[in-house]
Amino acid sequence: MSNLQIGLAVVGGIVLAAVVAHGAWVTRKNLPRQADADVGIEADASGAPPHEIDRIEPALAVDPFHIPPPEKKPVLDALIDVIAPLNLDAPVSGDAALLAAPLTRRVGSKPFAIEGLNAASQRWEAPLPGQRYDALQVGMQLANRSGALNDIEFSEFVIKVQAYADALGANPEFPEMREEVARARELDAFAGEHDAQLGFTLRAVHSAWSPGYVAQHAARCGFVPGAFAGRLVLPSSMPGMPPVLVLGFEPLAAMAEDPAQSAIREITLSLDVPQVDRSERPFVQMRETAAALALAMEALVTDDNGAALSTDSMDRIGSELETLYDTLDSRDLSAGSALARRLFS
């Protein structure tokens, strides 16, 4: 073999090695970022962090020693319900009230509820076994996110209530349908104008993320696994309340056979404004969480259309939310209250 052939062979080998090395580098560069096991957070295939050590707790939006007690109000309220009282000849046991109750607690798309006036406590409550009730009333929600109560739903309500009353030997009193349907439309119009559901999108600037990588960084901001794959939630500081924020990504990425190879290029951070108590300062937490995740994960915070959100835009949204909170307060539908959570659901 001549010197020329040997030289060409050497050069070819070098070029081939360079191509292979470049290909390996590109492949490694394009792999989604993985969770760092050194910090003590292990993410499972769903993207949820079941074990975490180095977790940063979110700042409480309310004084932990002065958390408002859970609301103890009857389920039904004339503000958002059509209510039909049942005239009883004698007190009814909770067992009888439950036995005669319809199997489904919905009429069309509206929740349906029964309440009794407890003979001992003189409080309205959902009927309970072993209790006695001096009065009963049945109600149905006037509006929710499915729309306003309509004529057909009202007629179905009358039929269902009449059957329940007959089973108990009671006589129902129904409000006038036209008035209730008109109330439902007015309430639905108000709700539609003041129903705010905010969403930020965090888009990867460079490398994509694995579900475990997302879960690890979310855990540092106080998020815990949600009920579904690809969903993490920031719990409320008030027991029994909806989460303050929800972080979501493609569920299929979390349910993949090998989630570590799933490439996530964007995640969403959402706030259901009427569902969260104002005292939680949810939008402040949303801004701070988005900023922290964007910095740690090398992401850009955008709106639903992909436009970057500036500080001025965030300030404007925050100001508009304060006005919205005031309006909801003025209608006795404060964000996070039982009535608001029912209406905006």
pLDDT digits (tens, 9 = 90+) for 17-67: 444 444 544 444 556 777 776 444 444 444 444 444 344 344 333 343 344
Residue predicted with more confidence, 140 or 23: 140
Specify whether 143 is located in the same domain as 163.
Answer: yes
Residue 171 lies in a domain: yes
Q: What is the mean pLDDT of residues 334-340?
A: 97
Specify whether 155 is located in the same domain as 135.
Answer: yes
Expressed as residue numbers, the domain containing 221 is 37-68+195-343
Residue predicted with more confidence, 198 or 257: 198
Specify whether 155 is located in the same domain as 181.
Answer: yes
pLDDT digits (tens, 9 = 90+) for 125-138: 999 999 999 999 99
Specify whether 204 is located in the same domain as 169.
Answer: no
What's the pLDDT score for residue 262?
Answer: 83
Q: What is the mean pLDDT of residues 143-168?
A: 97
Residue 23 lies in a domain: no
The domain spanning residue 212 has which CATH number?
Answer: 3.30.1400.10
Residue 30 lies in a domain: no
Specify whether 116 is located in the same domain as 62.
Answer: no
Residue 1 lies in a domain: no
pLDDT digits (tens, 9 = 90+) for 65-80: 344 444 455 589 999 9
Task: Give the DSSP per-residue string, 175-234.
Answer: PPHHHHHHHHHHHHHHHHHT--EEEEEEEESSS-B-HHHHHHHHHHTT-EE-SSTTEEEE
The whole-model pTM stands at 0.80
Across 155-169, 297-311, 329-343, least confident range: 297-311
Helix (H, G, I), strand (E, B) or coil at 119: coil
- Final residue belonging to a domain, choices 192, 209, 227: 192
What's the pLDDT score for residue 245?
Answer: 98
